[in-house]
Amino acid sequence: MQLVDHLTELAQQPKDYSRAREIFDLTNLRMFLRFEPKKLTKRMVNKLVGGVAVFGDADAPVQLYQGPASSKILKEESRKNQKSS
């Protein structure tokens, strides 16, 4: 019950975005968002069109990426793939 009270207290501070992060961490909230490109005047933007939120130990709706996440490593792998093609 203390967790619920603490979450309620955190949620009542809408201007403090660090509190929102704490709520995400306490509930293990994970958001899986879907975007589609949309043309706005002269440029294209990625517009949010849907998504799923999961809490706790719930399974993710998609397989999570397990590869490297460093932009340096990804660029190196991309160069290697281009040379081998």
What tokens were used for 62? 């998609």
Q: What's the number of domains the chain is made of?
A: 1
Give 6 or 55, the one with higher predicted confidence.
Answer: 55
- Residues above pLDDT 70, as percent of the chain: 93
Q: How does DSSP classify residue 39? A: E
Give 54 or 2, the one with higher predicted confidence.
Answer: 54
Q: What is the pTM of this model?
A: 0.58
C-alpha 44: how far from its chain's center? Answer: 21
pLDDT digits (tens, 9 = 90+) for 59-85: 999 998 887 777 887 788 778 878 776
- Residue 44's region, left for phi above 0, alpha for psi from -120 to 50, else beta, is beta
Residue 21 sits in which domain range?
2-84
Burial class (CB in 10 A: 0-12, 13-18, 19+), 10: middle
